[in-house]
Amino acid sequence: MLGVAAVLLFWKPGFVVTRVFDQAGLQTGVERVLTTDYGHQVSAVSCPADRKVQEGDTFTCSATVDGEPNTQIPIRVTSSSGNYEVGRV
């Protein structure tokens, strides 16, 4: 019975695999957008660990932005391949 379950779970590629964001890469990307695109001074970006890549999902990261600690930064996942938008703060 266990063998049948294993075959079914791997029948479709990616059926069991859940993609998550690389936390360090996400934090670097958020910092880059806030500084380069929006012109803010940014430090201490913190995004949630093991966040699933799901198109349409939203969550927040926090950072010190222009001297204001714990500023909440809205993030929206725009594709199942891991693209995202960083909201204005």
pLDDT digits (tens, 9 = 90+) for 14-51: 555 689 999 999 999 999 999 999 999 999 999 999 99
Which contacts (CB < 8 Å, 24+ apart) does range 5-11 have? none
pLDDT for the residue numbered 15: 53
Residue-level pLDDT at 34: 97
Q: List all residues 6 or more positions away from 37 whose beta carbon is below 8 Å from its beta carbon.
A: 86
Contact call for residues 88 and 73 (beta carbons, < 8 A): no
pLDDT for the residue 17: 67
> Residue 13: what pLDDT?
52
Q: How far does CA 65 lie from the centroid of its chain? A: 19
pLDDT of amino acid 56: 97
What average pLDDT does the structure give for the chain? 87
* HSE-CB of 71 using CA atoms within 13 angstroms: 21
C-alpha 4: how far from its chain's center? 34
The string of pLDDT tens digits covering residues 49-81 is 999 999 999 999 999 999 999 999 999 999 999
